[in-house]
Amino acid sequence: MEKPEQHTGTETWGAWISQVGSLPILFSACHEATHIRDGEPKVSEVGTKALAFRLATLVDAKALSTENPQFGDPNWDPDHPYVDLAENLLKVSSSFSLDIHMMKPRGIDACVGLGDLPEQVDGYWQSLVECLVAERLTVSINWPFSAGLRTFTSKLQNRGFPALQLELSTECFESPSDLEERVFSALSKFAYLLRDSL
């Protein structure tokens, strides 16, 4: 596994960091840094990058995350280059991407967003849900976030890459905690399933 590579972005978009493993699996954290949506700053989802990179290291996959400063939003701006970066990392259509997000507590631990082309991720999302439920996590599908058309997940799907969005409650990032450990255990199992299937 190569060491993480820091990228200096442009004044238009900002910076990002990537890690390149051998498998065509990408763990993404596109909201790790404070991002700008329609001219307004949106709070960073600190902890998503650490989780994405930890999972990538576990199975020799790839990871991608925003870094400060950001001048746009990869999960909103239609022409954001973050999608191009992901495509360059994946390269082949027999691949998979999981974009990890943080959401405020809503009575569930995790929300799996199926994106604009849910048929493209049939089998993947069921496996992810099974791994989460096996660790006694409460899971919703497409509520409150479905990974709509403007999201990184849907943009990647529309380029032919199977992709899911995973929203985790802020409580899942409280460290150290039993919940944090169960989340990592579930996602580790899912990462190994991906490794063995691709």
Residue-level pLDDT, tens digit, the chain, 198 residues: 555 665 556 668 999 999 999 999 999 999 999 999 999 999 999 999 999 999 999 999 999 999 999 999 999 999 999 999 999 999 876 799 999 999 999 999 999 999 999 999 999 999 999 999 999 999 999 999 999 999 999 999 999 999 999 999 999 999 999 999 999 999 999 999 999 998
Q: What is the CATH number of the domain that holds 185?
A: 3.40.630.40
First to last CA, the chain: 18
**CA–CA gap between residue 119 and residue 145 (Å, rounded):** 17
pLDDT of residue 134: 98
Contact yes or no for 15/66 (Cβ under 8 A): yes
DSSP character for 6?
Answer: E
Ramachandran sector of residue 70 (left: φ over 0; alpha: ψ -120 to 50; beta: rest): beta
pLDDT of residue 12: 82
**CA–CA gap between residue 83 and residue 106 (Å, rounded):** 29
pLDDT of residue 91: 86
Q: pTM of the full predicted structure?
A: 0.95
pLDDT of residue 43: 95
pLDDT of residue 109: 98
**CA–CA gap between residue 72 and residue 85 (Å, rounded):** 15
All residues at 6 or more sequence positions from 127 whose CB lies less than 8 Å from its CB, including other chains: 190, 193
Whether the ω angle into residue 74 lies within 30 degrees of 0, i.e. cis, is no
pLDDT of residue 106: 96
Instruction: Look up the domain containing 102 and give its range.
Output: 5-197
What is the separation of C-alpha 136 from the centre of its chain, rounded to a whole number of angstroms? Answer: 21
**CA–CA gap between residue 99 and residue 155 (Å, rounded):** 12
pLDDT of residue 44: 97
pLDDT of residue 93: 67
Domain count for the chain, please give it: 1
